[in-house]
Amino acid sequence: MKYYFLIAFVLLSFPISTAHAQAPSAMDIVVKAVEAMNYAGGDVKARIDMRIIDSHGRERIRQMTMLRRNETSGYGPQKYYVLFSRPSDVKEMVFMAWKNTDRADDRWLYLPALDLVKRIAASDERTSFVGSHFFYEDVSGRNIDEDHHEFIEETDEYYVIKSTPKTPGDVEFTNYTSWVDKTTYLPIRIEYTGQRGEVYRTFSVQTVEVIQNHPTIIDVQMEDTAMGGKTVLHYSAVKYSIGIKENVFSERFLRRPPREYLR
Amino acid sequence: MNFLTHFALAAPRTFIWGTVAITFVLMALVAAPTLSPPIAQFLQPLSIDADPENMLVYDEPVRVFNREKKDTFSLYDLIVIGVVNDNHKDGVFSVASLSDIYDLAEFAKDTQWTNKQGEVEGVVPVDLIAPSTMEDVRQAGPGAVDFNWLMDGPPQTQAEALDVRDRSLNQPILHGSLISEDGRSIALYIPITSKGVSYRVAQQLRERIASYDSGDQYWITGLPVAQDQFGVEMFIQMGITTPLATGLLFFLLWFFFRNLTLVASPIMVAMLSVTITVCLLIATGHSIHIMTSMIPIFVMPIAVLDSIHILSEFHDRYPEFQNRRKTVKHVMSKLALPMFFTSITTGIGFLSLNFMPIPPLQAFGTFVGIGVVVAWLLTVTLIPAYIVLMPERKFKNFGLNKTTDSREPSSFLHGALPALGAGAIRYSRPILLLMIPIAALAFYGATQIVANDNPVKWFGKEHNIRQADAVLNSAFGGSYMAYLALGTNQDTESFGIYIDELEARILAQDLAKRDMLALLVREISKTVTSRTDLLSALLADVEERLRSTKSDDEISAWEDTLSFLDTERAQTEIFKDPEVLAYMNNLQTFIEKDAAVGKSNSVVEIVKTVYRELISGEEADYRIPDSGAGVAQTLITFQNSHRPHDLWHYVTPDYQEANIWVQMKSGDNQDMSRVDALVAQYFADNPPPRNLTHQWFGLNYINVVWQDYITVGTAKALAGSFIIITLLLMVLFRSVLWGLLAVVPLGFSIAMLYGGIGLAGKSLDAPISILGAISLGLAVDYAIHFVMRSRDIAKEQSNWPDTARIVFGEPARAIARNVLILGVGFLPLLIAPLIPYKVVGVMLSGILILAGIATLIILPALMSLLEGRLFNFRPAGANS
């Protein structure tokens, strides 16, 4: 009698467990999503037009050219070089980052008007990126090991993943939910939930184009209801695999932008 | 006798029950919408408005500007909480205290609710200033800068607690604001959605604070709390002191007239008058405001006043008639006209406050005026009706008995008053001569009056709000916030010249697109009126052209154009200009020398602090960078923080406007006015770069404006009412001289009142200046009674001394009883912890005594002097 019961139990639960096995794991989706968004091509150059719109609808612009180089294939260390061109008083300003997957990133800022290269201390990566609603971490991608990822559901178009920080004290959100496109694996929408259970920050992609076979985000915005307002990014002149040399991402090049890659 | 009194005597029950019924209907009209809004949605509910800002009309320019700038710089009214610990060696910088402070800040962030309109009200979490919400930028080893929360969680060790202190002290923008100057205390600045929620927020915070046991003292203050708290306590005070005053009045009436049933009638008249007036006020959609809340206190004495005249006369005459109906008819025939005159003049005096452009003062004047008329109607009908309804047996042994024991107060007046009258007549010249220096002194005193107010000082010294105010303003930069908005008129001024210059600069450039750009400038400049608008439109146009072109040469040409326009626009961003920042820096240093200014914060402190930390972290580098680009790059570095939006409290994103947050240690409008003058002087002495303009805003400045309106405005309104009353009396008496004579006691009371205030060095604040109005109601009443009775009696007498002897009988006794009953009856207000109510108590007594003196001494003295012109006595002997 006992055995029949056990067999019945195993048989009944079998289809359910196979269904689990067939669905992609949350971690797989997260890795693919990060790779689709931040690792396409071995390297890339893009012009970014940033519009920061505050809660009063007042707008400021930043224009920059970004170089990015992957140090390994797939998810792993990377290097970023961002040269500002507008507004004119921040022209030639450079932001450089070495993304590390095993420890905090290394970041530098070059301020030409003060002829000053500053390392930004590795304390907190959830600070504003040049006054926008994007955090520095949103630009380079949050380390995937910092959160527990949980598969929520699969819709016609998206995998929905809920991520919860492993050390909640380090961040201002309690969790975030990502809608990852099932074909391109690009995260199309990310909602951050605050301490009171409210969605206060929303990342959303408006336009995606395929460039050199890579689905590429062209228009994206971050809206912040706590602070008010939003920041809109437009990517243009995107070129993948242009063969950027590693030494470009060094302190030496902060004062002397590598023109050959930036044209 | 008044026809109304006739009707009342004919149907006394109908009159009394009819009035009571009307009162209940009015009360129901107010109670229904207040208690059950859905059922009575077409009626006005009771609403309370404790916001002194509403002394000014909503569209008053200073309020419009204040709203605009608060919106521009995302500023909110602030509740300030100071945390002090005298027992720990490091003050509040201990693990236990900082843990509580951390908890309080977290709690404050959640102190929000949704109101009936579905809007979120309460604390604005994003702008909360607390150790856990603020951060610093600092050197982190050689060549590195660090942005870090000052306290991202409760500290675990004493060393961590001290680190919070040291880092806070190192941030000039926090030093004196977040952390006290001695580095021992912390102040939290809690922004709230509107002033009206401050009491509720403060109450919730107080409850939370009560659960802490680390021995810290928490002091809550800030103008919004003080004002809202005042509104709340005002009603509590009205609820306690009004019944107390009523009770004491009742006792005093009994003391003089010794008939419990009878003396209930003036109290009934007063309560019905007050209730009807207040119900009418609410039912017509007026909110209860600091001013209108004083209506009961004003209506009550005026209502009781006429009743005392009737009772006094009735009391003295009853033994003669021994019949209540006959006595009442006699009394009313004597008093009907004086009471009508006094009510008309008082009512019009208050109604004339409507000439002031101050909405609450208009409502106050209108409804005190209405209350006076209601009180008159009720007095001339209900009191006689009530008396005739009382059984005759209740009047056994009632009334003035000339043989009674002389210790009885009425007998004392009976003996003393004729002596006073005789003295006033005999010594009329010395008395009037004595008045000349007194008048001169009063006039001198009045010129010494300083108009000054501070809502926090409306609380007694021992009140929690006052103590908090003292503690916070000695340890921190100050709890009174004023803001100085800076801008420029350069943007629109000389725009035509700018267009020509821009065109010249374009044509001088080596730009591929320069001719096209020059053309664009001409075209677009027709549709805009300012430099910034022109450049924005040009930039948008060129960006569009850049987007629509594919050719590399074209792209490069338009990019060069864009770059040129960008540089032009950077020129218009005046608050990045080091010269402008240096000017602001010097201005701040200049005003900070004033004792009332604790500290000031602006974009200058942000720039200097970030620059210092970028360069060396040393004090020598605490300065403004040399170039505009240096400023811009310093600021963009600042914006790499957790709170980039903090910058926009000090400057607009287009750098066309800036804001200096001035923390003041005093909320006295004298101090604010002085600092205002200092800034104006600085601008005059030091011509600012870039045509900088300046204008104050913020609660502390608005208070100056409305307090000025109230003090100066009320003085004007009083003068206006005085003139109207004088003219009215001249018409009523059909005599210029009698009219002037009747306002002498009023003039005397007001002169003494303001002269006394000036000589005593007490500053004229809003409550005092409002209270001047009550002398209109009381002083003129006594004088009219005295004058009319004198004229009446003189008709049957052959000379003034004989007339005066009779006038100093019943008529003078009625006035004296009035003075004593009302003068003492309002003293319970002295126990109120709110200063304005104490002031009402003292001033009411003072005014009554002054008006009494003026009426019973100065008037007869003057009448003796002017006897020949005033009276037309029949020759002696013609009578017999």
Could you report the per-residue pLDDT of B350-376, keeping only the tens digit for each?
Answer: 887 787 777 888 888 899 999 999 999
Q: Where does the pLDDT of residue A248 fall: very low under 50, low under 70, confident under 90, or very high at 90 and above? A: very high
Chain mean pLDDT for chain B? 86
Task: Decide if A55 touches B, using CB distance below 8 A.
Answer: yes
Cα–Cα separations (whole angstroms), residue A104 to A98, A142, B275, B303:
9, 10, 72, 80
Task: Decide if B143 touches A, using CB distance below 8 A.
Answer: yes
pLDDT digits (tens, 9 = 90+) for B515-573: 888 888 888 888 888 888 899 899 989 888 888 888 888 888 888 888 899 888 888 89
Q: What's the confidence (pLDDT) of residue B40?
A: 58
Residue with tokens 């209109």: B776
Reported as type and span, the H/E element at residue B569 is helix B552-572
DSSP 8-state class, residue B110: T
Cα–Cα separations (whole angstroms), residue A132 to A50, A142, A166, B573:
8, 17, 26, 19
Q: Where does the pLDDT of residue A15 fall: very low under 50, low under 70, confident under 90, or very high at 90 and above? A: very low
Per-residue pLDDT, averaged over B812-825, amounts to 85
pLDDT digits (tens, 9 = 90+) for B30-75: 887 777 666 655 666 777 776 777 778 888 899 999 999 999 999 9
Q: Where does the pLDDT of residue A1 fall: very low under 50, low under 70, confident under 90, or very high at 90 and above? A: very low
Chain B residues 637-656 with CB within 8 Å of chain A: 637, 639-642, 644-645, 647-648, 652-654
Q: What's the confidence (pLDDT) of residue B402?
A: 52
Are B71 and A169 an interchain contact pair (Cβ–Cβ within 8 Å)?
no
The answer to whether the beta carbons of residues B609 and B171 sit under 8 Å apart is: yes
Q: How many residues does chain B have?
A: 880
Per-residue pLDDT, averaged over B465-487, amounts to 90
To the nearest 10°, report the CA torsion of B579, B582, B586, B588.
Answer: 120
Instruction: Return all residues near B353 (Cβ < 8 A) that are at least 6 apart.
Output: B361, B362, B364, B365, B366, B717, B721, B773
Could you say which of B143, B630, B645 has the minimum Cβ distance to residue A113?
B630
B607: its two tokens: 């720039």
Per-residue pLDDT, averaged over B646-672, amounts to 92
Instruction: Return all residues near B460 (Cβ < 8 A) that are at least 6 apart.
Output: B466, B833, B834, B835, B838
The answer to whether the beta carbons of residues B176 and B598 sit under 8 Å apart is: yes
Residue A216 has pLDDT above 90, yes or no: yes
Q: What's the confidence (pLDDT) of residue B684?
A: 95
Per-residue pLDDT, averaged over B510-514, amounts to 84
As a three-state string, the secondary structure of chain A is: CHHHHHHHHHHHHHHHHHHHHHCCCHHHHHHHHHHHHHCCCCEEEEEEEEEEECCCCCEEEEEEEEEEEECCCCCCCEEEEEEEEECHHHCCCEEEEEECCCCCCEEEEEEHHHCEEEEECCCCCCCECCCCCCEHHHHHCCCHHHEEEEEEEECCCEEEEEEEECCHHHCCCCEEEEEEECCCCCEEEEEEECCCCCEEEEEEEEEEEEECCEEEEEEEEEEECCCCCEEEEEEEEEEECCCCCHHHCCHHHHCCCCHHHHC
Q: What percent of chain A has pLDDT over 90?
A: 63
In sequence order, the β-bridge partners of residue A235 are A48
Residue B94 has pLDDT above 60, yes or no: yes
Give the domain range for residue A211. Answer: 2-14+22-262
To the nearest 10°, report the CA torsion of B556, B562, B567, B568.
Answer: 140
Angle (CA) B352-B353-B354 rounded to 5° is: 80
Buried-exposed string B489-502: b where 16+ CB fall within 10 A, e elsewhere: ebbeeebeebbeeb
Q: What's the confidence (pLDDT) of residue B272?
A: 92
Task: Answer yes or no: is the ipTM higher than 0.85.
Answer: yes
The alpha carbon of A117 is separated from its chain's Cα centroid by a whole number of angstroms, namely 25
Reported as type and span, the H/E element at residue B122 is strand B120-122
Q: Where does the pLDDT of residue B239 fall: very low under 50, low under 70, confident under 90, or very high at 90 and above? A: confident
In sequence order, the β-bridge partners of residue B195 are none
Residue B212 phi, psi (nearest 5): -85, 145
B116: its two tokens: 């009936």
Are B654 and A58 an interchain contact pair (Cβ–Cβ within 8 Å)?
yes
pLDDT digits (tens, 9 = 90+) for B148-188: 889 988 999 999 999 999 999 999 989 989 999 899 999 99
Nearest to B625 by CA among B611, B643, B606: B611
Residue B880 has pLDDT above 50, yes or no: no
Per-residue pLDDT, averaged over B414-433, amounts to 86
Are A121 and B145 an interchain contact pair (Cβ–Cβ within 8 Å)?
yes
Residue B126 has pLDDT above 80, yes or no: yes
Residue A6 has pLDDT above 70, yes or no: no
The answer to whether the beta carbons of residues B764 and B757 sit under 8 Å apart is: yes
Radius of gyration of chain B (CA): 35
Q: What's the confidence (pLDDT) of residue B373?
A: 93
The better pLDDT of the pair B554, A209 is held by A209
Q: What's the CATH number where A228 sits?
A: 2.50.20.10
d(CA B383, CA B421): 30
Per-residue pLDDT, averaged over B763-772, amounts to 73
Residue B300 has pLDDT above 90, yes or no: no
Instruction: Return all residues near B203 (Cβ < 8 A) that are at least 6 apart.
Output: none
Q: Where does the pLDDT of residue B401 fall: very low under 50, low under 70, confident under 90, or very high at 90 and above? A: low
Q: What's the confidence (pLDDT) of residue A17?
A: 44
pTM: 0.84
CA contacts within 13 A on the Cβ side of B107 = 18
Which amino acid is residue B458, in one-letter code? W
The better pLDDT of the pair B2, A126 is held by A126
Per-residue pLDDT, averaged over A135-151, amounts to 89
The answer to whether the beta carbons of residues B806 and B407 sit under 8 Å apart is: no
Q: Where does the pLDDT of residue B292 fall: very low under 50, low under 70, confident under 90, or very high at 90 and above? A: confident
As a three-state string, the secondary structure of B434-495 is: HHHHHHHHHHHHHHCCCECCCHHHHECCCCHHHHHHHHHHHHCCCCEEEEEEEEECCCCCCH
Residue B784 has pLDDT above 60, yes or no: yes
Cα–Cα separations (whole angstroms), residue A67 to A39, A241, B571:
12, 11, 30
| Cβ atoms < 10 Å from Cβ of B79 | 28
B520: its two tokens: 């664009």
B734: its two tokens: 């059909």
Strands B48-49 and B288-289: parallel
Q: What's the confidence (pLDDT) of residue B1?
A: 58
d(CA B455, CA B452): 10
The answer to whether the beta carbons of residues B485 and B696 sit under 8 Å apart is: yes
Please give, rounded to a whole number of angstroms, the shortest distance from the CA of A152 to a CA of chain B. Answer: 29
Contacts of residues A83-86 at CB distance under 8 Å and 24 or more positions apart, as own/partner, are A83/A257, A83/A262, A84/A130, A85/B563, A86/A61, A86/A62, A86/B562, A86/B563, A86/B566
Q: Where does the pLDDT of residue B396 fall: very low under 50, low under 70, confident under 90, or very high at 90 and above? A: confident
d(CA B179, CA B175): 5
- Tell me which chain B residues have a C-beta less than 8 angstroms from the C-beta of A131: 636, 639-640, 644, 647
- Tell me which chain B residues have a C-beta less than 8 angstroms from the C-beta of A126: 642
- Tell me which chain A residues have a C-beta less than 8 angstroms from the C-beta of B71: 56
- Tell me which chain A residues have a C-beta less than 8 angstroms from the C-beta of B126: 226-228
Residue A229 has pLDDT above 90, yes or no: yes
Cα–Cα separations (whole angstroms), residue B397 to B77, B259, B310, B372:
65, 10, 18, 33
Residue B574 has pLDDT above 80, yes or no: yes
Q: What's the confidence (pLDDT) of residue B236?
A: 77
pLDDT digits (tens, 9 = 90+) for B500-509: 888 888 888 8
Could you say which of B144, B153, B640 has the minimum Cβ distance to residue A119?
B144
Strands, DSSP E only, in B511-647?
597-601
The better pLDDT of the pair A114, B710 is held by A114
Q: Exposed, middle or buried by CB within 10 Å (0-12, 13-18, 19+), for B620? A: exposed
Q: Where does the pLDDT of residue B301 fall: very low under 50, low under 70, confident under 90, or very high at 90 and above? A: confident
Q: Exposed, middle or buried by CB within 10 Å (0-12, 13-18, 19+), for B144? A: middle
In sequence order, the β-bridge partners of residue B651 are B658
B59: its two tokens: 């569209």
DSSP 8-state class, residue B89: T
Number of domains chain A contains: 1
Are B633 and A112 an interchain contact pair (Cβ–Cβ within 8 Å)?
yes
Cα–Cα separations (whole angstroms), residue A20 to B110, B422, B856:
40, 114, 103
| Cβ atoms < 10 Å from Cβ of A215 | 16
Are B636 and A227 an interchain contact pair (Cβ–Cβ within 8 Å)?
no
Per-residue pLDDT, averaged over A50-79, amounts to 92
| Cβ atoms < 10 Å from Cβ of B423 | 14
Instruction: Return all residues near A155 (Cβ < 8 A) that are at least 6 apart.
Output: none
Helix (H, G, I), strand (E, B) or coil at B400: coil
Strands B77-84 and B692-697: unpaired
Least confident stretch, A157-171, B715-729, B847-861: B715-729
The answer to whether the beta carbons of residues B579 and B631 sit under 8 Å apart is: no
Q: What's the confidence (pLDDT) of residue B75?
A: 92
- Tell me which chain B residues have a C-beta less than 8 angstroms from the C-beta of A58: 652-654
Residue with tokens 């201390």: A121
Task: Decide if B105 touches A, using CB distance below 8 A.
Answer: no
Helix (H, G, I), strand (E, B) or coil at B129: strand
The answer to whether the beta carbons of residues B609 and B169 sit under 8 Å apart is: no
Helix (H, G, I), strand (E, B) or coil at B86: coil
Task: Decide if A115 touches B, using CB distance below 8 A.
Answer: no
Helix (H, G, I), strand (E, B) or coil at B217: strand
Please give, rounded to a whole number of angstroms, the shortest distance from the CA of A245 to a CA of chain B. Answer: 25
